[in-house]
């Protein structure tokens, strides 16, 4: 694994690249130029950086208006304030209006650690994936962040990009091809599936390595698109591995795990385990400490996978069915 | 462009009649606000806006954003008068699968710039549109019509700050100042007075006009921009339900539906008043 890196660096570098290639691209900030790593963007494209101050409803409305005027706005704001404070503007001005706005939720999840639940954004996926027509992307490392920014810029429609500031190692090869709507298999396996996204993918890979040492073959899927969810990858995983652990830096209510469960329960019921924040406001602690506290770790994912495999053995259900 | 005052007055009363018929047929709607906004809408669409119904998405068109999306009967009606919709289609207002939803959808209705209905959304969108024109050094202008009760939404004041901060003199806010909102008078619900002073304090150039006087409306819109580097605010003093004696200035007509007899009586009054 490479040295862990802050995805905001890849984010802003990619944004400058796409902005250099397409004059329609503008950045919109809410006094978030520093926290969104946009200082270089402002230096290079001063007339294309619009700071509306601490005003998130206006932030998203202005972005919708910029899109009306032919621009492709990238709204860069702390995920907690962007999604909660401006949810109606996201729903109506961006999604329902089908405006070509890119909403970039920075320092998402529990990245703000000790700053507490006001600054945590662990409900955003639940809120946003309930909104029709909004594409929701959660890149897992700098390489995927770079590609997701480029894909969002090229995609005609509203997109939410969930960007962390927790450092993560690279989990994708340099020649990785990112596609909106496609879950990517990072490790083949047949006994159980570990589904994750964002800052949790490398932890799922680590869990899979530990499980392999114990003779359990775990498939690792990176669901960097939460909406539209990759139904095929889910159904294949259910069919071929017989159980799914979903792990995310988000409440277990309504996020990636729920999105997967909605597919599984309707089409191919298999046991699942959901790992995330269990419907509580986090106590004080650093981001990494909180991940440990809630078991959103390789050890937590491994333990849940073992439970699923043991449960299946005790029920006599084979992992593979059919064929 | 229609600049004949008598013709604008006649078109506005035609719009009032159509709005009442639409609300009656749909059994739903917001006739009070439709009627208060009719003169503003007709003046803007027929006499001011640089728009072409044959090219509703032309990049250099003036933008008009209907923030008070609940006045949709009048909005669809004026879009029809301006040629964006067939007037016969207005009869489908709020019928199942009609493109004419109770609140406008830009993806269904030509000429609609933003999906509105949730209040306090239009002004921020208009600020963004005006910024886009500014970035491109383009000459097109942005207009937004809000209700007055709607100004109780804080998002408007976020946008008001931004418009002045960025010196958007290519932006014009028109306030349909009819003094009423759903539950009663604006001033007893949540006071807006002194509204002009509020906008001036936020850095806007403000004019107050009689929102039913087409000459005053035309004249104020032809005077744009009022001051360099300041966004423009036109406070149009209006009467909710204007033009029909038994609807005018009565809060219950915010969303009361007229009976067939009331529509007929209203049409008689409007025809008698039309030049």
Does residue B102 carry a pLDDT above 50?
yes
The list of chain A residues with pLDDT below 50 reads 321-323
Which residues of chain A make contact with B107, given a CB cutoff of 8 A? 97-98
Kindly name the residue from A56, A144, A240, A248 that is annotated as catalytic. Answer: A56
Distance CA B205, CA B234 (A): 9
Task: Give the CATH H-level superfamily of domain A7-162.
Answer: Thiamin diphosphate (ThDP)-binding fold, Pyr/PP domains (3.40.50.970)
Q: Is B155 on the interface with A (CB under 8 A)?
A: yes
Q: What is the pLDDT of residue B274?
A: 85
Q: What is the pLDDT of residue A218?
A: 98
Would residue A214 show up in a list of annotated catalytic residues for this protein? no
Q: What is the pLDDT of residue A315?
A: 74
Q: What is the pLDDT of residue B243?
A: 96
Q: Is A71 on the interface with B (CB under 8 A)?
A: yes
- The boundaries of every CATH 3.40.50.970 domain in chain A are 7-162
Q: Is B3 on the interface with A (CB under 8 A)?
A: no
CA torsion, ordered B35, B38, B40, B46, to nearest 10 deg: 180
| Max Cα–Cα distance, chain B, nearest Å | 53
Across the A:B interface, residue pairs with CB atoms under 8 Å apart total 107
**CB neighbourhood size of A183 (10 A):** 23
Query: How near does any CA of chain B get to the CA of A4, in Å?
Result: 37
Per residue in B115-153, pLDDT (tens digit) is 999 999 999 999 999 999 999 999 999 999 999 999 999
Residue pair A86/A59 in contact by the 8 Å Cβ criterion: yes
Distance CA A102, CA A28 (A): 10
Which residues of chain A make contact with B202, given a CB cutoff of 8 A? none
Which of B125, B154, B202 is best to mutate for the A interface (most A CBs within 10 A)? B125
Cis peptide bond upstream of A228, omega within 30: yes
H or E segment to which residue B226 belongs: none
Per residue in B47-96, pLDDT (tens digit) is 999 999 999 999 999 999 999 999 999 999 999 999 999 999 999 999 99
Q: Is A25 on the interface with B (CB under 8 A)?
A: no
Instruction: Look at A33-37, A75-79, B100-104, B169-173 and tell me which has the smallest mean pLDDT.
Output: A33-37
Are A71 and B133 inside 8 Å of each other by CB? no
Q: How much is the ipTM here?
A: 0.97
Distance CA A222, CA B215 (A): 64
Q: Which residue among B63, B105, B161 places its CB closest to the CB of A68? A: B63
Which residues of chain A make contact with B127, given a CB cutoff of 8 A? 58, 61-62, 65
Q: What number of H helices and E strands is found in chain A?
A: 12, 12
Q: What is the pLDDT of residue A242?
A: 97
Q: What is the pLDDT of residue A323?
A: 36
Which of A22, A47, A50, A62 is best to mutate for the B interface (most B CBs within 10 A)? A62
Q: What domains can be seen in chain B, in order of their start residue?
A: 5-273 (3.40.50.970)
Determine if the pTM surpasses 0.95: yes
Q: Is A66 on the interface with B (CB under 8 A)?
A: yes
Whose CA is closest to B143, among B165, B118, B111? B111
- The boundaries of every CATH 3.40.50.920 domain in chain A are 184-315
Q: What is the pLDDT of residue A1?
A: 56
Distance CA A94, CA A70 (A): 14
Q: What is the pLDDT of residue A269?
A: 97
Q: Is A46 on the interface with B (CB under 8 A)?
A: no
Whose CA is closest to A308, among A279, A274, A264? A274
Which residues of chain B make contact with A50, given a CB cutoff of 8 A? 131, 166
Q: Which two tokens stand for residue B160?
A: 């008001």
Looking at domain A184-315, its CATH architecture is: 3-Layer(aba) Sandwich (3.40)
Q: What is the pLDDT of residue A322?
A: 38
Hey, which residues 80-119 in chain B have their CB within 8 Å of chain A? 105-107, 113-118
Does residue B275 carry a pLDDT above 80?
no
Cis peptide bond upstream of B225, omega within 30: yes
Q: Which residue among A50, A60, A68 places its CB closest to the CB of B113? A: A68
Residue B200: which pLDDT band, with cuts at 50, 70 and 90? very high
Nearest chain B residue (CA) to A48? B135
């Amino acid at each position: 694994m490479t040295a862990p890196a802050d995805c905001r660096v890849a984010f802003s570098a990619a944004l400058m690249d796409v902005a250099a290639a397409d004059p329609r691209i503008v950045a919109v900030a809410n006094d978030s130029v520093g926290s969104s790593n946009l200082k270089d963007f402002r230096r290079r494209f001063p007339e294309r950086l619009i700071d509306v101050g601490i005003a998130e409803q206006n932030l998203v409305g202005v972005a919708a208006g910029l899109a009306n005027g032919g621009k492709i706005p990238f709204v860069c704001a702390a995920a907690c304030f962007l999604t909660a404070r401006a949810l109606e503007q996201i729903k109506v001005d961006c999604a329902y209006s089908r405006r070509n706005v890119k909403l970039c939720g920075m320092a998402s999840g529990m990245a703000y650690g000790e700053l507490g639940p006001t600054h945590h954004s662990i409900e955003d996926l639940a809120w946003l994936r309930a909104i029709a027509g909004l594409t929701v992307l959660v890149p897992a490392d700098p390489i995927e962040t770079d590609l997701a920014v480029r894909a969002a810029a090229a995609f005609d429609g509203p997109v939410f990009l969930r960007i962390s500031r927790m450092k993560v190692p690279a989990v994708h090869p340099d020649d990785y091809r990112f596609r909106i709507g496609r879950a990517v298999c990072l490790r083949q396996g047949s006994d159980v599936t570990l589904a994750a996204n964002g800052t949790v993918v490398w932890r799922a890979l680590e869990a899979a390595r530990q499980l392999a040492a114990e003779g359990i073959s775990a498939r690792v899927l990176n669901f960097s698109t939460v909406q539209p969810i990759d139904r095929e990858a889910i159904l294949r995983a259910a069919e071929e591995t017989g159980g799914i652990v979903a792990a995310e830096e988000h409440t277990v209510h309504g996020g990636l795990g729920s999105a997967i469960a909605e597919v599984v329960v309707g089409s191919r019921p298999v046991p699942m385990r959901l790992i995330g924040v269990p419907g509580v406001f986090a106590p004080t602690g650093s981001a990494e400490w909180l991940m440990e506290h809630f078991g959103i770790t390789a050890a937590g994912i491994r333990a849940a996978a073992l439970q699923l495999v043991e449960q299946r053995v005790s029920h006599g259900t084979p992992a593979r069915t059919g064929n | 462009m229609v600049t004949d005052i008598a013709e604008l007055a006649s078109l506005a009363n035609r719009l009032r009649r159509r709005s009442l018929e639409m609300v009656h047929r749909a059994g739903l709607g917001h006739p009070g606000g439709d009627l208060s906004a009719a003169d503003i809408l007709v003046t803007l669409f027929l006499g001011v806006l640089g728009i072409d119904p044959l090219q509703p998405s032309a990049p250099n068109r003036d933008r008009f954003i209907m923030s008070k999306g609940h006045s949709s009967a009048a909005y669809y009606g004026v879009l029809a008068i301006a040629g964006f919709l067939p007037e016969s289609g207005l009869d489908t207002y709020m019928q199942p699968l009609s493109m004419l939803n109770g609140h406008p959808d830009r993806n269904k209705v030509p000429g609609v710039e933003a999906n509105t209905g949730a209040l306090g959304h239009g002004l921020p969108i208009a600020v963004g549109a005006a910024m886009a024109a500014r970035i491109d050094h383009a000459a097109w202008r942005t207009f937004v019509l809000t209700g007055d009760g709607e100004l109780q939404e804080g998002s408007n004041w976020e946008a008001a700050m931004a418009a002045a901060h960025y010196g958007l003199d290519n932006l014009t806010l028109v306030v349909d100042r009819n003094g009423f909102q759903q539950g009663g008078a604006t001033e007893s619900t949540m006071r807006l007075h002194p509204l002009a002073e509020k906008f001036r304090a936020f850095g806007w150039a403000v004019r107050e006009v009689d929102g039913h006087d087409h000459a005053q409306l035309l004249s104020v819109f032809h005077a744009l921009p009022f001051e360099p580097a300041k966004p423009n605010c036109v406070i149009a003093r209006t009467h909710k339900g204007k033009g029909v004696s038994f609807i005018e200035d009565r809060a219950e007509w915010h969303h009361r539906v007229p009976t067939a007899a009331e529509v007929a009586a209203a049409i008689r009054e409007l025809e008698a008043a039309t030049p």
